[in-house]
Amino acid sequence: MSAATPRSTFYTASGMVPPTAWILVVTVLIPISAVAGMLYSAGIVHVPMVKLRWIGSVGLGWVIGMLAAKVCRIGKVRSPLFTFVTVIVGFLVAYYSAWGIHRALLVLGKVNAPNPVLFALQGFLPNEIASWMSVLFKNGNAEGITGLALIIVWLIECGAIAYFTKSTFATVWDDRPFCETCDQWNEPAESLLQLPVSPDDPSWQSVREGWLHSIRKLKIKENANETVALTLSSCPNCDRSHFLTASGIGWQTNAAGEATFVESKIFQYMSVTPAQITELKELGELLDEAYQELIEEPEDLDDSGVMQAND
């Protein structure tokens, strides 16, 4: 390419946490997480089935992960530490609330409590939760599970909620760049072009260093099981925030003949200019023509397999 850059610049989050984010955590994340935890507890108490417990864990994790991601997105959080803490806070509040209301849901109708509201609120005290867990450990839960087996059930349940919270957050929170100039998030990454090349090609090292013209030196792979996808995330309001990502995608077969879809990052969020984006698009058009020629007339390609047609 004509405008080669000797040193690449990659996006790094600024670490900013606007006051709005703190407000959303206090007014939205914590209350909704608490309600979600109590609803989850009500579900497993009134319909005490193992299958429902599993479905409930998925649902609670989905709610907390989704909620934490939305709070961080709307609050314009650019701090990885804050996003991590937000997820942890949402999870802990929900899980604690599920235990806090558990005793009241299970035994309130069976005991003669002079003040039902006070009895329910007392269940949220740490010492009351510990005491209630001790009772269940000795006497068993609704399914009659006691002792060590019950502790294992609790650990599996907690791990499942944590896992689904994390996976949901990672899916919703796509970690896209933020345009500090316009004070807004870039658009989600969109496909720019597909390259029928290997992600392990040595020329990618030069591309990572900012020499985008080195893409021309990548070797075309005929009938390849893997390709490289170039995606672009841009600010919708300016031309100063464009970030390019290259990912190797394809299928790999193990010794047993089982195929697995694999995606690997070659580089992520490298800053590019509008001129470079235009040249990449033009290269994509030329590459499509060269690849079609490779499929139709492979004997016409020189022995090196280099993208000579694009010079």
Q: Where are the domains of the chain?
A: 19-175, 180-310
The DSSP call for residue 187 is: P
> What is the widest separation between alpha-carbon atoms in the chain?
91
pLDDT at 22: 97
Query: What's the Cα-to-Cα distance from 167 to each of 36, 64, 66, 171, 173, rounded to whole Å?
Result: 18, 11, 10, 6, 10
- The Cα 21–Cα 86 span in angstroms is 10
Q: Give the torsion sign (CA, 191, 196, 201, 205).
A: negative
| H/E run at residue 264 | strand 259-271
The pTM assigned to this predicted structure is 0.79
Q: Is the separation of the CB atoms in 91 and 162 below 8 Å?
A: yes
Q: Is the separation of the CB atoms in 75 and 24 below 8 Å?
A: yes
Query: What's the Cα-to-Cα distance from 282 to each of 63, 233, 245, 252, rounded to whole Å?
Result: 43, 18, 17, 30
Token representation of residue 36 = 């979600």
Give counts: helices (H), strands (E), the chain. 9, 6
Which residues in the chain show pLDDT less than 70? 1-8, 48-52, 109-113, 142, 222-224, 252-257, 259, 290-291, 294-311
Token representation of residue 110 = 């069976």
Mapping DSSP to helix (H, G, I), strand (E, B) and coil, where does residue 286 land?
A: helix
Q: Is the separation of the CB atoms in 223 and 295 below 8 Å?
A: no
Token representation of residue 108 = 């309130």
Q: Is the separation of the CB atoms in 267 and 246 below 8 Å?
A: yes
Token representation of residue 180 = 């500090």
pLDDT at 32: 97
Q: Is the separation of the CB atoms in 169 and 68 below 8 Å?
A: yes
Query: What's the Cα-to-Cα distance from 304 to each of 126, 134, 228, 309, rounded to whole Å?
Result: 70, 72, 19, 12
Q: Is the separation of the CB atoms in 42 and 103 below 8 Å?
A: no
Chain centroid offset of residue 182 CA:
25
pLDDT at 70: 96
- The Cα 216–Cα 59 span in angstroms is 48
